[in-house]
Amino acid sequence: MKTQYITKNPKETFDLGVKFGKGLKPGAVVALIGELGTGKTLFTKGIAKALGVKEYEDVNSPSFVIVKEYKSKKAPLYHFDFYRLKPSSGLDTIGYEEYFYSGGVSVVEWADRAVDLLPDKYICLKFRHLGKDKRKITVKK
């Protein structure tokens, strides 16, 4: 099942992340795919807010450390960024499976770089530029 959204500015992208995050349950894995600057990290901040992460405004791309963990009221948020990875390499050293199969919510930016390592069940969101601030976000469950 696919659902598409159009956001016209960064606030709408963030707000969509909040709305989406409210529906996530512990153990969810969310794969984010899209070019640089399409709003993946901003969307993740929205998810963080929905989960009750106090420092949701400080959520940023963990491209150099691969994963950052945020405590929250609902479930821990595990924020991955696979941008700097070669396809499917280097993840064993961080114990990615422990994150994916725990009671937290895992959000993976640049998930297309290691899609074969994702669990069988995950939610995929594709982000596309449609202009300066306009974005098309397609959700596939």
Contacts of 17 (CB under 8 A, 6+ apart): 42, 43, 44, 45, 46, 47, 49, 50
pLDDT (tens digit, 9 = 90+) per residue, 66-111?
899 999 989 999 999 988 776 555 566 667 788 998 899 999 999 9
Task: Give the count of domains, the chain.
Answer: 1
What integer pLDDT is reported at residue 48 of this predicted model? Answer: 98
Question: Helices in 2-141 by DSSP H: which ranges?
Answer: 10-22, 40-51, 96-100
pTM of the predicted structure, to 2 decimals: 0.91
CATH number of the domain to which 11 belongs: 3.40.50.300
Question: Average model confidence (pLDDT) for the chain?
Answer: 91
Whether 126 contacts 138, CB under 8 Å: yes
How far is it, in rounded angstroms, from Cα 18 to Cα 12? 10
Domain assignment of residue 59, given as a range? 2-140
pLDDT band for 47, please (50, 70, 90 cuts). very high
What integer pLDDT is reported at residue 91 of this predicted model? Answer: 60
In this structure, of 43-57, 59-73, 90-104, 117-131, the range with the lowest mean pLDDT score is 90-104
Tell which wins on pLDDT, 108 or 1: 108
